[in-house]
Structure 1
Amino acid sequence: MSVLIETTAGNITLDLFVESQPLPCFNFLKLCKLNYYFFTPFHTIDKDFSVHCGNPNYPNPPNIISSSIIEDTQFQDQSLSPYLLAPKSTIKPTLGTFSFVKSIHENQQVFDSRFIITLSDSFDDSLENQVIPFGQIIEGFTVLETINNTPIESIELKRPLRDIRITYIHILHDPFPDPNNFHPYPLEPSEFQLSTMRFPELSKTTKDINSDNNNEYNALTLELVGDLPHYSIKPSPETLFVAKLNPITTSESLEIVFGRFGNVKNVNIILEPKTKKSLCYGFVEYNEQHEAESAYRKLSKGCVIDGRKLHIDFSQSVR
Structure 2
Amino acid sequence: MSVLLETSAGDITIDLFVHDAPKCCENFLKLCKIKYYNYSPIYNVQPNFSFQTGDPIGPESKGSDGGASIWSLPDGVTKRVSHPERRVFKPEFSKKRKHARRGTVSMATSQSKLNPDDRLASSQFLITLGDNIEDLDGKAAVFGEVAEGFDALEKINSAFIDQSGRPLQDIRILHTHVLDDPYDDPPGLVEPPSSPVPSAEQRATVRIAYDEVLEQKDDPEQMEKLRREREARAQALTLELIGDLPFADVTPPEQILFVCKLNPVTRDEDLELIFSRFGKILSCEVIRDRKTGDSLQYAFIEFAKKEDCERAYFKMQGVLIDDHRIHVDFSQSVSKLSKEWRSTTNSKTARSRGGFGGIDSLEKRRQYRGVDGGRDVDDEYDYIFDNDERRRARNRMDTDSKDTSRRPRSRSRSPKRYERNERTRDVQDKNSDRRREEGRRHGDRDRYRDNNEYRDRRSR
- TM-score normalised by L of structure 2: 0.39
Q: Provide the secondary structure at the position in 2 that maps to 1:31.
A: helix
Task: Note if contact 2:107-2:126 (Cα within 8 Å) is conserved in structure 1.
Answer: yes
Residue pair 1:75, 1:180 contacting (<8 A) in 2 also? no
Look up the match of 2:437: none
Q: What displacement does 1:84 show? A: 8.1
Task: Return the alpha-carbon distance in structure 2 between the equivalents of residues 194 and 126 of structure 1.
Answer: 34
Matching residue within 110, 116, 135 for 2:126: 116
TM-fit CA distance, 1:60: 3.4
Q: Which residue of 2 aligns with 1:4?
A: 4
Structure 2 contact 61–205 (Cα < 8 Å) conserved: no
Q: 1:21 to 1:180 in 2, by over 3 A?
A: same
Structure 2 CA distance, aligned partners of 1:43 and 1:8? 13
Quote the residue 1:37 is aligned against: 37
**Are the equivalent residues in 2 in contact too, given 1:69–1:75 (CA < 8 A)?**
no
Structure 1 stretches of 4+ with a deviation exceeding 4 A read 71-76, 83-87
Question: How far 1:86 sits from its partner (Å)?
Answer: 6.1
Tell me which of 137, 142, 146 is aligned to 1:133.
142
| 1:223–1:159 distance in 2 versus 1, CA, 3 Å | closer
The corresponding residue for 2:103 is 96
Instruction: Say if 2:206 is the partner of 1:197.
Output: yes
1:113-262 equivalent positions in 2, closer than 5 A: 113-123=123-133, 125-153=134-162, 156-185=163-192, 187-199=196-208, 224=212
Deviation track 1:181-201 (CA, whole Å, cap 9, x = no partner) reads 1113561111121121121xx
Letter in 2 for 1:14: I
With over 3 angstroms needed to count, the CA separation of the structure-2 counterparts of 1:11 and 1:55, relative to structure 1, is: same
Using the TM superposition, give the Cα deviation of residue 71 of structure 1 relative to its aligned residue in structure 2, in angstroms.
5.2
Task: Summarize deviations over 1:158-214 as a string: whole Å, max 9, x none.
Answer: 111111111111100111000121113561111121121121xxxxxxxxxxxxxxx
- Answer whether contact 1:49 1:122 (CA < 8 A) is retained: no
Q: Using a 3 Å threshold, how does the CA distance of structure 1 residues 87 and 54 change in structure 2: closer, same or farther?
A: closer
The aligned runs of 1:288-299 (5 Å cut-off) are: none
- Kindly indicate whether structure 1 or structure 2 has the higher relative contact order, using CA contacts under 8 Å at least 6 residues apart: 1
SS at match of 1:182: coil
Which residue pairs with 1:13 in the alignment?
A: 13
Aligned to 2:370: none
Question: 1:169 and 1:196, CA in 2 relative to 1: closer, same or farther beyond 3 A?
Answer: same
Residues 159 and 191 of structure 1: CA distance in aligned 2, closer, same or farther (over 3 Å): same
- Distance of 1:48 and 1:136 partners within structure 2: 16
Which residue identity is paired with 1:107? L
Whichever of the two has the greater Rg, that structure is 2
Deviation readout 1:5-53 (Å, 9 max, x if unpaired): 1111110111001111100001101111111100011111111111111
Q: Which amino acid aligns with 1:160?
A: P
d(CA) in 1 for partners of 2:91, 2:155: 38
What SS does structure 1 have at the residue aligned with 2:137? helix
* d(CA) in 1 for partners of 2:98, 2:149: 20
Q: Report how far residue 122 of structure 1 moved.
A: 3.1
Say whether the 8 Å CA contact 1:7–1:168 is kept in structure 2.
Answer: yes
SS at match of 1:129: coil
Q: Share of identical aligned residues, percent?
A: 38
Per-residue CA distance 1:125-181 (angstroms, 9 max, x = gap): 24311100111001000000000000112xx31111111111111100111000121
Within 5 A, what are the aligned runs for 1:39-58? 39-58=39-58
Deviation at 1:111, TM superposition (A): 0.1
- Structure 2 stretches of 5 or more lacking a match? 74-80, 214-460
Structure that is richer in strand per residue: 1
Distance 1:105 1:85, change over 3 A: closer
Q: 1: distance between equivalents of 2:92 and 2:45?
A: 31
* TM-score of the pair, normalised by structure 1: 0.55
Count matched residues.
Answer: 195
Report the CA distance between 1:90 and its aligned residue.
Answer: 2.5
Partner of 2:65: 63
> Is the contact made by 1:75 and 1:181 (CA closer than 8 Å) also made in structure 2?
no
Moved more, 99-108 or 160-169: 99-108
Checking the alignment, whether the CA contact within 8 Å between 1:102 and 1:110 is kept in structure 2 is: yes
Whether the aligned pair in 2 keeps the contact of 1:89 and 1:132 (CA below 8 Å) is no
- Which whole-Å CA distance do the structure 2 matches of 1:5 and 1:196 have between them? 21
Structure 1 distance, partners of 2:91, 2:152, is 34
In the alignment, is the contact (CA less than 8 A) between 1:42 and 1:53 conserved in 2?
A: yes
**CA positional deviation for 1:75:** 7.6
1:88-134 CA-to-partner distances (Å, cap 9, x unmatched) read 443111200111111134425210111111001030x2431110011
Give the aligned partner of residue 310 of structure 1.
Answer: none
CA displacement 1:49-91 (0-9 Å, x = unmatched): 1111111111238536x61124559589xxxxxx989674431
Between 186-195 and 160-169, report the one with greater CA deviation: 186-195
